[in-house]
Amino acid sequence: MALIKADFQFIKQQLNREPRGILEVSTRCKTSHPQVIKTKPIFDKEIFPTLYYLVCSNMIDKVSKLEAQSYIKELQEKIDSNQDFKDRFLVAQENYKRERNALIKNPSQLNKSQKEALKSGIGGVAKLDKVKCLHCHLAHYLTTGFNVVGEEVAKIVGTTC
């Protein structure tokens, strides 16, 4: 979805900072405001391993409360104990990496630390079988429809504000 000036201002207000490297608005909430944005993986020669950002403050607050209630730990236990769930989680991680890394022009020009950062998964996690940020997983799920962790979060917080 195209990014218009009003979207940029809304995102800036929601994040309390100047947004950088926005490629598009990936999803919108029921009020038509940006809900998830897609960003460049490299901006000003700096690596940003997170491709999708949740920018709706209502959704961010809901997910933050889940994280504060140790929901990451609960989901990690599910990954560790349920092979089917883990396999689907790992597929989502690989899909995410593939999509993000395909946006990089001239990957051969990256330095060693930049290349290493691009091995990370959702939320910049180094170990792909670990959960780091529920906001990132939900943003990925809302955009692609395929992320088992994001789907579990959406079952609790919903898919729109």
Output DSSP code: residue 30: T
The set of residues, in sequence order, having a beta carbon less than 8 Å from that of 145 and lying 6+ positions away, is none
Written as six digits, the tokens of 54 are 């949740």
How many CA atoms, within 13 angstroms, populate the side-chain half-sphere of residue 76? Answer: 14
Output DSSP code: residue 146: -
What is the structure's pLDDT at 46? 82
The number of residues in the chain equals: 161
The dihedral sign for the CA sequence 99, 145, 33, 13: negative
CA end-to-end span of the chain, whole Å?
A: 19
Q: What is the dihedral of CA 153, 72, 37, 11, to 10 degrees?
A: 100
Q: Is the pTM of this model over 0.75?
A: yes
CB 139 within 8 A of CB 53: yes
Q: Are strands 22-28 and 34-39 parallel, antiparallel or unpaired?
A: antiparallel
Range of the domain at 60: 5-157
What is the structure's pLDDT at 49? 84
What is the structure's pLDDT at 43? 84
What is the structure's pLDDT at 140? 98
Closest CA to 40 of 92, 135, 118: 118
C-alpha distances (whole Å) from 24 to each of 20, 33, 117, 124, 133 are 11, 13, 22, 20, 21
What is the structure's pLDDT at 106? 87
What is the structure's pLDDT at 42? 87
How many structural domains compose the chain? 1
Residue-wise pLDDT tens for the chain (161 aa)?
A: 778 889 999 999 988 888 889 999 999 999 899 999 999 998 887 888 899 999 999 999 999 999 999 999 999 999 999 999 999 999 999 999 999 999 998 888 899 988 888 899 999 999 999 999 999 999 999 999 999 999 999 999 999 87
